[in-house]
């Protein structure tokens, strides 16, 4: 997916709702359109927030909330409590929506989009340009790009592959270039020498697979002998 931008994966025709749309209508919209969230915009098209399945489920789950104890009332943040009450008891979009929306631009690299989803634990990001909503990138979009067929790679020489693997190893603190030797034969990367752990072996395998032109990986390393560990202690 190297080189892909948010504009390459986003869904451009995004359903939008006004801030005064009733919660019941939002739930029907999500179910009928088979979508998990919908942005909230004002009359001028400016983004106000987003209502997701999680927001509506939180509303249902709040029915089991027990009245707070007197001690909880004393230490609770009144602003946070008021916000939660509004979002779990509200009747229209503006009352239940998530206002702090994570957004990107059409030129944001896909790797950065994925990192934002991981960082904030969210399932989608909105694509904004010049203050207007241009699209939406979901986790499903990222997965589709990951499994999409790729064009046949240009033939790369074994020596170029070897240099690329070694260069990537030198950027990773866990990859030990002093005890691990890299050889490439007909596009197959072979690791020889010693490895510090099984995790490092798995990491090297994945690292080599990412280099263009690699047709296979063979790990021929052995566990690092005990007397070598004195170097690390």
Q: What pLDDT score does 195 carry?
A: 87
Locate CATH 3.10.580.10 in the chain: 6-147
Average pLDDT, the chain: 84
- Span 68-89, average pLDDT: 58
Q: What is the pLDDT of residues 58-69, one digit of tens each?
A: 776 555 555 555
For residue 125, give the nearest of 29, 212, 217, 14 by alpha carbon: 14
pLDDT surpasses 70 at 154: no
Locate CATH 3.30.1340.30 in the chain: 158-232
CATH label, 158-232, candidates 3.30.70.930, 3.30.1340.30, 3.30.1300.30, 3.90.180.10? 3.30.1340.30
pLDDT surpasses 90 at 26: yes
pLDDT surpasses 60 at 145: yes
> What is 6-147's CATH topology?
CBS-domain (3.10.580)
Token pair, residue 133, equals 């909503």
Q: What is the pLDDT of residues 213-222, one digit of tens each?
A: 899 999 999 9
């Amino acid at each position: 997916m190297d080189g892909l931008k948010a504009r390459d994966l986003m869904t451009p025709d995004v359903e939008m709702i006004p801030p005064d749309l009733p919660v019941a209508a939002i739930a029907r919209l999500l179910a009928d359109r088979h979508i998990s969230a919908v942005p909230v915009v004002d009359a001028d098209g400016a983004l106000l927030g987003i209502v997701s399945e999680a927001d509506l489920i939180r509303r249902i789950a709040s029915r089991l909330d027990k009245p707070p104890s007197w001690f909880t009332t004393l230490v609770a943040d009144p602003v946070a409590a008021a916000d939660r009450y509004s979002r779990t008891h509200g009747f229209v979009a503006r009352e239940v929506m998530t206002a702090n929306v994570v957004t990107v631009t059409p030129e944001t690299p896909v790797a950065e989009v994925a990192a934002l989803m991981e960082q904030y634990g969210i399932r989608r990001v909105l694509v904004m340009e010049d203050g207007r909503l241009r699209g939406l990138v979901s986790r499903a979009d990222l997965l589709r790009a990951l499994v999409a067929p790729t064009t046949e790679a240009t033939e790369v020489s074994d020596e170029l592959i070897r240099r690329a693997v070694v260069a990537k190893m030198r950027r990773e603190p866990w990859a030990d270039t002093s005890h691990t030797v890299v050889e490439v034969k007909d596009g197959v990367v072979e690791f020889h020498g010693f490895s510090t752990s099984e995790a490092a072996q798995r990491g090297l395998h994945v690292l080599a697979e990412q280099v263009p032109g690699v047709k296979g990986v063979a790990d021929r390393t052995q566990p690092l002998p005990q007397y070598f560990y004195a170097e690390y202690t």
